[in-house]
Amino acid sequence: MNHEKTTSNPLLCDPITGACIMPSDAEKELAGLTKQDKSDKVRVIYFTDPICSSCWGIEPQLRKLKMEYGENIEVEYRMGGLLPDWSYNSGGISKPSDVAHHWDEVSTYYEMPIDGDIWLEDPLDSSYPPSIAFKAAQLQDEVKAIVFLRKIREMVFMQKKNITSWEHLAKAAEASGLNVNQMKEDYNGRAKDLFQADLKLAKEMGVRGFPTMFFVYSDQMELVYGSRPYPFYETAILKLLPQAEKQEYSKEWHSLFEKYQTLTAKEYSVLSGVPLNESKVLLNKLSEEGLLAKISCKNGSLWIK
What pLDDT, in 10s, does the model give residues 183-231? 999 999 999 999 999 999 999 999 989 999 999 999 999 999 999 999 9
> Could you tell me if 213 and 233 are in contact, meaning their C-beta atoms sit under 8 angstroms apart?
yes
Give the span between the Cα atoms of 99 and 33, in whole angstroms. 35
Rounded to an integer, the average pLDDT of 138-142 is 98
- Tens of pLDDT, residue by residue over 66-110, are 999 999 999 999 999 999 988 765 556 678 888 898 899 999 999
- Tens of pLDDT, residue by residue over 234-280, are 999 999 999 999 999 999 999 999 999 999 999 999 999 999 999 99
User: Are residues 170 and 70 part of one domain?
Assistant: yes
Q: Which of residues 210, 241, 274 is at a domain's end? A: 210
User: Are residues 295 and 167 part of one domain?
Assistant: no
Going by the DSSP 8-state scheme, the letter that residue 26 receives in this structure is: S
User: Are residues 164 and 71 part of one domain?
Assistant: yes
Give the span between the Cα atoms of 242 and 257, in whole angstroms. 30
Residue 66 in any domain: the answer is yes
Phi, psi of 147 (to 5 degrees): -65, -40
Q: Which domain holds residue 298?
A: 253-304
Give me the CATH number covering residue 113. 3.40.30.10
Q: Which of residues 155, 183, 210 is at a domain's end? A: 210
One DSSP character per residue, 93-115 reads B-SGGGGHHHHHHHHHHHTS---
Cis peptide before 211 (omega within 30 of 0): yes
Going by the DSSP 8-state scheme, the letter that residue 14 receives in this structure is: B
1-11: b (≥16 Cβ within 10 Å) or e: eeeeebbbbbb
